[in-house]
Amino acid sequence: MTTAIRIEVLPARLGDCLLVECVRDTGRPWRMLVDGGPPDTWPILEQRLKRLRPDEQYIDVAVVTHIDSDHIGGMIPFLQSEYAHHVGDYWFNGRTHLPGMTSKRSVGQGESVVAALLGESGGRVLPWNLSFGGGPIDTGDAAGFIEVPIRDGPHITVLSPTTKRLEILAAKWSEAMDQAKRGRVVETRPDIREPLDDLVAIAVQKSPKDSSAPNGSSIALLVEHRGASVVLGADAFGNVLGAGLKGVAAARDQKELPVDAFKLPHHASKSNVFEAMLKAVPAQHYLVSTNGDTFHHPDDAALARVVLTAPPGPTLWFNYHTERIARWADPALCERYLYTARFPEAPEAGAVLELPGGS
């Protein structure tokens, strides 16, 4: 069958850098870049973009999901490159889009992004949230969502953030910007890899919910095209993402929202991946973006919840092959729990998933 959506999860260490393409009958595919990973991801992204034909080096939408260094760092050199002027629209909630905030100025990496978009760094003004009238990307209340139909392209539904999450980010904006500039400072801890003998016991382990203001403000999306579908979870909170998915399902008179693929939020952290969210969006493919740097993601509890909750025979796609992740490809474990694990064909390629269109 013909591919409808192609998803590349580039190797961005502990961060996210995704390239999504939706095929069209003629001409180049519709293309979306989601985040740029940490700063050292830029050379990888640049080399990937250079492989595009000169007449196809156009990105319809570039999304900066939230202000964390592992997502925003690589976007700064992108915005300073020639590719920045070949983007149809940038989706990013800056300081002026937050409730109660009016100043255009910010600090650290956020300032660099805002300055580039506003043309203050010597370039021309770039298109910013045009699909939202230049205003905030805000789904409103819990279970709210925004539909963005695109002519001759995919149908996109924004699932996160809510107004509440943007209000919380506004209150912590300066702190979040400073943290994005420095990178998160965490206490180094050993990577303890416990046996995966009993996934049920692992899945029910108590997990604290994510409380990061930037993560809570993540732009999470549902992309649908020609019968294929993928949820891009960014670092969104599990309850916010789950509520948005349930809201879309209810609007379509469905109890749940089946999709082909789900890029798990927050690098498959146990603090963001919960059973209720997974039940709201059963998928056949689950994408994980991380090499386990610093935080030792993916968490076993998160992957156990996926395997136990997913429809029969799911596939886990990883953009790195590490010792922590390799445990999940154990043939006996895969046979026992009826799932498959896939790894990059080459380290520099990351995970590449092609979703066929529907009938």
pLDDT for residue 174 = 79
**pLDDT tens digits, residue range 167-212?**
999 998 878 877 776 665 555 678 889 899 999 999 999 999 999 9
DSSP code string of 305-316: HHHHHSPSS-EE
For 346, the enclosing helix (H) or strand (E) is none
pLDDT for residue 223 = 98
Asked if the peptide bond before residue 136 counts as cis, ω within 30 degrees of 0, the response is no
What is the CB neighbour count within 10 angstroms for residue 102? 7
Name every residue whose Cβ is closer than 8 Å to that of residue 323 and which is 6 or more positions away in sequence: 193
Q: How far apart are CA 113 and CA 39, in angstroms?
A: 13
Q: How far apart are CA 169 and CA 176, in angstroms?
A: 8
pLDDT for residue 187 = 56
What is the CB neighbour count within 10 angstroms for residue 345? 10
Cβ-contact 314, 285 below 8 angstroms: yes
Asked if the peptide bond before residue 265 counts as cis, ω within 30 degrees of 0, the response is no
**pLDDT tens digits, residue range 271-288?**
999 999 999 999 999 999
Torsion angles phi and psi, residue 286, rounded to 5: -125, 125
Closest CA to 352 of 322, 316, 319: 319
Per-residue pLDDT of the chain (359 residues; tens, 9 = 90+): 799 999 999 999 999 999 999 999 888 999 999 999 999 999 999 999 999 998 889 999 999 999 999 999 999 999 999 999 999 999 999 988 999 875 544 445 556 787 888 777 667 789 999 999 999 999 999 999 999 989 889 999 999 999 999 999 999 887 887 777 666 555 567 888 989 999 999 999 999 999 999 999 999 999 999 999 999 999 999 999 999 999 999 999 999 999 999 999 999 999 999 999 999 999 999 999 999 999 999 999 999 999 999 999 999 999 999 999 999 999 999 999 999 999 999 888 999 999 999 85
Cβ-contact 225, 4 below 8 angstroms: yes
- Find the Cα–Cα–Cα–Cα dihedral 165, 208, 304, 214, rounded to 10°: 30
Please, which residues bridge with residue 146 across strands? 158
- The conformation of residue 268, written as its DSSP 8-state character, comes to T
Chain centroid, CA 285 distance in Å: 15
Sheet holding 146-149, edge to edge: 146-149, 155-160, 220-225, 228-232, 259-263, 283-288, 315-318, 340-342
pLDDT for residue 102 = 59
Between the alpha carbon of residue 351 and those of residues 19, 327, 354, the distances in Å are 11, 18, 10
Torsion angles phi and psi, residue 48, rounded to 5: -65, -40
pLDDT for residue 106 = 44
pLDDT for residue 185 = 55
Domain topology for 3-356: Metallo-beta-lactamase; Chain A (3.60.15)
What is the CB neighbour count within 10 angstroms for residue 227? 14
Say whether 121 sits in a helix, a strand or coil.
Answer: coil
Name every residue whose Cβ is closer than 8 Å to that of residue 93 and which is 6 or more positions away in sequence: 66, 136, 137, 138, 161, 166, 169, 217, 219
Between the alpha carbon of residue 141 and those of residues 247, 309, 334, the distances in Å are 10, 27, 39
pLDDT for residue 188 = 64
